[in-house]
Amino acid sequence: MRILLVEDETRVAGFIARGLREQTYAVDVAADGEQAVYLASVNSYDLIVLDLMLPIKDGYTVCRELRAAGLRVPILMLTARDAVDDRVAGLDSGADDYLVKPFDFKELLARLRALLRRSATLRPAVASVADLVLNTGSHRVERAGKAVSLTAREYALLEFLVLNQGRVVGREEIAEHVWDESFDPLSNIIDVYIRRLRGKLDAGFSPRLIHTLRGAGYLLSVEGGAGDD
């Protein structure tokens, strides 16, 4: 899942972004409201974490502009303001949830999971393909009943493939949801991570689940597809 974090306080932004990345999220950071609107217009995000008090454009304005542009991605608003009127204003501007600073990071993660479950792309608690089982809450992965140890990025890529099982996904789509804006489109990093996943999930197991379709992308499926490598 790829998240846009909008926070002007460098220390706070660094803390939140680091914690989210440790939980396998890809994170882009915007330091003001104008940059947030621009990034949301050119990138595809699964969720936006939006501070209220921002330079140039505040969180209310950002929210209204994104909704007016037709963006339906879930938005979690963060703010030090805890008055009822402030929360109502945030929700009325288009936010889906509201979290008051200071907050416990575990609560932030729980609220993000809840918003992702309610989003248009359903994120089930447990997903499976054949004997591969993935728990999106604990990030535990098993194949044929055996636990599989994955890095954060490997897990993020696998989760994206599992949630899109049976559908071919291209490199650009993977990059948009699994990597952040620092991704180099000329690199072979996606191929590298696909090979790593195959080594951990397909080697020694049957059937083979991760397939490469020449010129199209990747497919996670029991059956594979035409042009499969």
Which tens digits make up the pLDDT trace of 19-77? Answer: 999 888 889 999 999 999 999 998 889 899 999 999 999 999 999 999 988 888 999 99
What pLDDT is attached to residue 168? 92
Q: Do 134 and 188 lie in a common domain?
A: yes
Which residues are paired to 133 by β-bridges?
128, 142
Enumerate residue ranges in the chain where pLDDT < 50. none
**Structure confidence at residue 51 (pLDDT):** 94
Give me the sheet containing 146-148, strands edge to edge: 126-129, 132-135, 141-143, 146-148
- Asked if 97 and 138 sit in the same domain, the reply is no
Last residue of a domain, one of 118, 149, 164: 118
Taking the C-alpha atoms of residue 138 and residue 77, their distance in angstroms, rounded to an integer, is 25
Residue 97: inside a domain, yes or no? Answer: yes
Say what the pLDDT of residue 175 is.
87
Neighbours of 167 (CB within 10 A): 13
Question: In this structure, which amino acid lies at residue 165?
Answer: Q
pLDDT on residue 121? 52
Q: Last residue of some domain: 118, 136, 158? A: 118
Do residues 94 and 161 share a domain? no
| Residue ranges in 23-151 assigned as alpha helix (H) | 33-42, 59-68, 84-92, 105-118
Mean residue pLDDT of the chain comes to 88
Per-residue confidence (pLDDT) for residue 113, from 0 to 100: 86
pLDDT computed for residue 196 by the predictor? 93
Q: What is the Cα–Cα distance from 161 to 217, expressed in whole angstroms?
A: 11
- Does residue 225 fall inside a structural domain? no
CA distance 2 to 67: 19
The CATH number of the domain holding residue 175 is 1.10.10.10
**Cα–Cα distance, 14 to 208 (Å, whole number):** 39
Which tokens hold the place of 229? 């490598």
Same domain? For 105 and 141 the reply is no
Residue 150 is given by DSSP the state: -
User: Which CATH number characterizes residue 103's domain?
Assistant: 3.40.50.2300
Residue-level pLDDT at 89: 86
The owner of tokens 């591969």 is: 132
Cα–Cα distance, 105 to 107 (Å, whole number): 5
Shared domain check, 107 and 83: yes
| Domain membership flag for residue 41 | yes
- Asked if residue 7 is part of any domain, the answer here is yes
Structural domain total, the chain? 2
If asked whether residues 104 and 142 sit together in one domain, one would say no
Structural domain boundaries, residue 132:
126-220
Choose the final residue of a domain: 89, 118, 147: 118
